[in-house]
Structure 1
């Protein structure tokens, strides 16, 4: 059960990778063929796996840009565990990621053998970020048929705010980033409410450069770092 909660949180954070840049978004390049790779580590810095993303099927209509992000996840031994596609839109001054895109990576593995119903609200990222700015909450609700009984799970991303600006280094280069703090609140049967803080480092023209997740005591549990970027 603990691994399931952690998987849900990782997937909820991962959607922040899949936003896009076009004329209406300046944080992520929205061009067919653009690719990213993120390497994941546990709290002790040991390799857990790699996730590759590729932008495809970009289209513009009525001032709205739509695209598909293709994702492939491999474990620390290089074995491909799963792949999936999800969509997102960019309109006006905001990128919106379909809440169903939250169902990816380890979460999909956990629910691969059961029937699920997913509802929720999109996660948003505006162009004009400033330190101290508060961002809209988001959530995903999952009802899983466990064979005669239904397990309900609710994950909310709350208290989203732009915490600071900070320059960080990655294998791809050095970037001036906005640091976005949020708390991921989970509610599951027999587990009560759990809150897991996280931070995302976001650079213009690149997107997410780094992400860290923490336990309820503030201890680092896992991280993701941009290790490849190709336009």
Structure 2
């Protein structure tokens, strides 16, 4: 929540091979009515060094916790691409809620986003649901960016596009004052499918 702070996450596939990096930069912070809102710039670069996607989204923080605006998590480039093609997009959802005070065993609120895309003769719906969110344990974790004391959050992720569902589970390591330090995604059989960790952090 400080202007100029930057993070870099490196993604790997299930075999540990690099799959690309995502850079985040806090470009603007404002305060109003007891709420701090930060605009985060995100840039995804693939394993070949090609810039694939750039987008902005927002975080808000109050005395109770942090909310991630799900409406603005939909990549702006994707929205522009669809609108340039004459498509209408309607986005609805529930923000991701992370309380300031976490404890082992705590259950967190579900989150979701639905994107309806309309074009002459075609309608498409994409959904993502995050359910069964809870704090599993406390754990110290080390990445190239340092060693951090974290809470480990687990959740179920169900995505659906054109009636086709995909079920995943994830583990997220959160450190106070930093945010996400590591994330692991598992397929429906419980096998690791991808891994992401904080590799650079500058403030």
Assess same fold via TM > 0.5.
Answer: yes
2:110 corresponding residue in structure 1: 137
Distance 1:112 1:216, change over 3 A: farther
Q: CA deviation at 1:134?
A: 0.1
1:31 corresponding residue in structure 2: 2
Aligned pairs for 1:184-195 within 5 A? 184-191=157-164, 193-195=165-167
In the alignment, does 2:166 pair up with 1:166?
Answer: no
Unpaired runs of 5+ in structure 2?
A: none
Structure with greater strand share of residues: 2
Instruction: Give the RMSD, CA atoms, in angstroms.
Output: 1.8
Match of 2:59 among 88, 96, 114: 88
In the alignment, does 2:92 pair up with 1:149?
Answer: no
In the alignment, does 2:180 pair up with 1:211?
Answer: no
| Contact 1:178–1:202 (8 Å) recurs in 2 | yes
Structure possessing the higher relative contact order (Cα contacts under 8 Å, 6 or more residues apart): 1
TM-score with structure 1 setting the length: 0.81
Match of 1:175 among 148, 151, 156: 148
1:186-222 CA-to-partner distances (Å, cap 9, x unmatched) read: 233342x432100100111211110011111111111
1:80-133 CA-to-partner distances (Å, cap 9, x unmatched) read: 11211111211221111111133139xx65993463321111111001100000
CA distance in 2, matches of 1:85, 1:228: 19
Unpaired runs of 5+ in structure 1?
A: 1-29
- Give the total of aligned pairs: 199
TM-score with structure 2 setting the length: 0.91
2:173 corresponding residue in structure 1: 201
Question: Secondary structure of 2:81's partner?
Answer: coil
Match of 1:73 among 27, 34, 44: 44
